[in-house]
Amino acid sequence: MNINMLMQQAQRMQKDMEVNVKKAKEELAQTEVHAEAGGGLVKVTMTCRHVVKRIEINPELLQDDADMIEDLIAAAMNDASRQAEAVSEERMKSANSGMGLPPGLSGLF
């Protein structure tokens, strides 16, 4: 096998990986995660690109202390963010699979 063939193969692999990563990012922008806090008193819907689509607050909660409401919103947001990150990692790992990258390098893309 000559060097030109190796270079062409590497370029094809790079293009394939770029297409896979772009597709995965587009899918993540549409994928939503749902989180809640306080036993469902606060619910958050967020895309896997960390765009908050909706926050629902149970009307009963609005009678409580503002600090508690703020804490529950923060908890729900953090949970949604963790879920989005986990889904994103898995999708990007799938997008990079089969590309022959050494372990640990797939997270760079």
Q: How much is the pLDDT for 41?
A: 94
| Contact by Cβ (8 Å): 32, 38 | no
- In whole angstroms, give the CA distance from residue 22 to residue 109: 10
CA atoms of 79 and 69, how far apart (whole Å): 15
Q: Looking at the domain 27-95, which fold is it?
A: Ybab; Chain: A; (3.30.1310)
Question: Quick one: pLDDT at residue 109?
Answer: 45
Q: What would the two tokens of residue 100 be?
A: 């022959």
pLDDT along the chain (109 residues), means of 10: 83 87 89 95 94 94 88 96 93 72 51
pTM, whole model, 2 decimals? 0.70
Laid out side by side, the sheet with 52-57 consists of 32-37, 42-47, 52-57
**Res 5: pLDDT:** 86
Domains in the chain: boundaries: 27-95
Q: What is the pLDDT of residue 105?
A: 53
Q: What is the pLDDT of residues 94-107, one digit of tens each?
A: 777 755 555 555 55
